[in-house]
Amino acid sequence: MSIGKTGIRAYPAPGLEGKCIAPEGPLEEIAWDWEEFLLGQPRGQYQQSVRWARVKQGDGWQAWLYTWGAEGRIEGGFLMLIKSTRLGRIGFVNKGPVLAGEGPESVPDALRRVLDAARAQRLRALILQPPDRSRIRSEDLRRCGFCRNPVPGIIDATLIASLEGGREAILARVGRTARREARQAVEKGVQIVEGGRSDLPRFFDLMCHTCRRQGVAPNPASVDALYRRWDAFGPDIKVLFARVRGELVAGLLLLRFGKTCTFEKKGWNEQAPEAHPNTLLNVEALLRASEWGCESVDFGAMDRGLAERMLKGEEVEEELSRTRHVFNVRLGARPVLLPPAQVWMPYAWQRPGVDWILGRRWLSPGIWSTPSGAECARKRELLGSRLPTNTGSGEDRSLSEARMSRWPRSAVFELKFSGIRFGPWTGAQVRPCFRVATW
């Protein structure tokens, strides 16, 4: 390990230029070059941005940027997030590596560089999910030593709405029900207003209200985390609110990166449902994203099984109507399958065991799902005072969740029949756990 003039530590990885992203202060030239490279690539996403690295550093992650190229041009690279746990360092390459061109030679070379960096960082495990539009296949990862089965808890399908054609085309793709509800919202006096940094505490309250209703912990877990997002991505981040009779009842956080706008977070306090504030808020957000210069909107997540059936043309209306995804589909969004995330272990003898654990979906019908509020209450009742009540507001996080935050969230899942938490590369930890942590 060496320390250059800038004080940045560089581990010796062959053929790589590794830079540790400082949590504060001005970014180095290579970081700005990487940002420009990402914005110019169809496979570049904000999760590989150094701005996102600074957001995650507030959650205890360390960020390393690796790039390579020739003649002063970047040809590829990746951002690696690393978190230290009691059992070693765990790495995550989210939506990377990003290459100027994906070919039969460049892909294996890029994956070799990723693993060189993992070994140089002495990682106990590495999770990698290729970019959404990448042609890197699961087979490519397995040839490099990644486990066969995907890591649960990491989004592997989403809903995308096109913004092509301007206002009229966007409204034409919105379903009749959504258009009718949007008109009714306007008639009932619902207003869409844009907020600023000072409005983030109000947005967080709305988001926490939605999380309590869904029985999940808020993510991000504090207003400070929202502030970090705002400071890192401004002016490419906005917060919109629906106001009914002078009260802000719903909010939506928009993040722009390149030509894509992500509806990253949302919240609603369940007030004025008859006025359809959420419908008008989302329709107006689509229009404003188009005015912002974006070509598509990413709604962030979709059930993969349902997405696969929709893409095959199967009849899923009844099943879809029972999910939250039906709202986004009515806004004109269509399902898109994403490359699954896979885990790499440094020693070959570890991989069969990890694969066995990741592939045991038959152990319980809902083993990979987030427990509902009722299930959480039932587990608290069974386990007693060992699982303090979690209000979902971030003010009363349980000891279990605080401990879980030390892990890469995608790598922690629950065996519902026993309440025992498993980390795929560590074996069981006999501590009660009642919630799956997700990215």
How high is the pLDDT of residue 362?
Answer: 53
Among 7-21, 324-338, 358-372, 382-396, the least confident range:
382-396
Q: 20 CB contacts (<8 Å, ≥6 apart)?
A: 8, 9, 10, 62, 63, 64, 65
Q: What backbone torsions phi and psi does residue 78 show, to the nearest 5 degrees? A: -160, 150
Average pLDDT of the residues in 168-181: 94
Distance separating alpha carbons of residues 324 and 245, to the nearest angstrom: 26
Distance CA 309, CA 143 (A): 29
Fold entry, domain 2-153: Aminopeptidase (3.40.630)
> How does residue 357 score in pLDDT terms, banded at 50, 70 and 90?
confident
Angle at which helix 29-39 crosses helix 50-57, to 10 degrees, equals: 120
Average pLDDT over the chain, rounded to an integer = 81
Sequence-ordered alpha helix ranges (H) in 74-175: 106-120, 138-143, 166-173
Q: Both tokens of residue 378?
A: 């039932």
Partners of 243 in the β-ladder = 191, 248
The predicted model gives 373-399 an average pLDDT of 39
* Confidence band, pLDDT 50/70/90 cuts, at residue 433: very low
Q: Percent of the chain beyond pLDDT 70? A: 78
CB atoms within 10 A of CB 25: 6
Average pLDDT of the residues in 290-307: 94
Closest CA to 342 of 91, 38, 116, 121: 91
Q: Pick the residue with more confidence: 390 or 170?
A: 170
CATH code of 158-337, in short, is: 3.40.630.30
Helix or strand (DSSP H, E) at 318: helix 317-321
Mean pLDDT of 168-189: 95
Contacts of 383 (CB under 8 A, 6+ apart): 419, 432, 434
Name 192's bridge partners.
242
Q: Using 50, 70 and 90 to split pLDDT, how confident is the model at 67?
A: very high
Reported as a single tens digit per residue, the pLDDT across 117-165 is 999 999 999 999 999 999 999 999 999 999 999 998 899 999 999 999 9
Nearest to 326 by CA among 312, 314, 310: 310
Rounded Cα distance between 438 and 379, Å, is 19
Answer yes or no: same fold for 2-153 and 158-337: yes
Taking the whole predicted model, whether its pTM rises above 0.85 is answered as no
Which DSSP string corresponds to 253-278?
A: EEEEETTEEEEEEEEE-S--GGG-HH
pLDDT band at 364 (very low <50, low <70, confident <90, very high): very low
Domain assignments of the chain as residue spans, ordered by start:
2-153, 158-337, 361-432
pLDDT of residue 429: 36
pLDDT at 17: 63
The string of pLDDT tens digits covering residues 94-117 is 999 999 999 999 999 999 999 999
Q: For residue 403, is pLDDT > 50? A: no
Q: Are 258 and 239 in contact (CB under 8 A)?
A: no
55 versus 22: the higher-pLDDT residue is 55
Lowest-pLDDT choice from 88-92, 152-156, 389-393: 389-393
Q: Rounded CA gap, 62 and 54, in Å?
A: 9
Res. 174 pLDDT band, cuts 50 70 90: very high
What length does the chain have? 439
pLDDT of the residue at 15:
55
Total Cβ atoms within 10 A of residue 3: 9
Contact between 415 and 422 under an 8 Å Cβ cutoff? The reply is yes
Whether the per-residue pLDDT at 413 is higher than 80: the answer is: no
Do residues 302 and 132 make contact, with C-beta atoms less than 8 angstroms apart?
no
Residue 6 in tokens:
């800038």
**Mean pLDDT over residues 283-290, rounded?**
96
Q: How far apart are CA 62 and CA 65, in angstroms?
A: 10
DSSP helix, strand, coil percent of the chain (3-state; round to 5)? 40, 25, 40
Question: Is the pLDDT reported for residue 391 higher than 70?
Answer: no
d(CA 173, CA 186) in angstroms, rounded, equals 19
pLDDT, mean of residues 295-307: 94
pLDDT of residue 215: 85
Neighbour-count burial for 138-159, b at 16+ CB within 10 Å, e otherwise:
bebbeebebbebbbbbbbbbbb
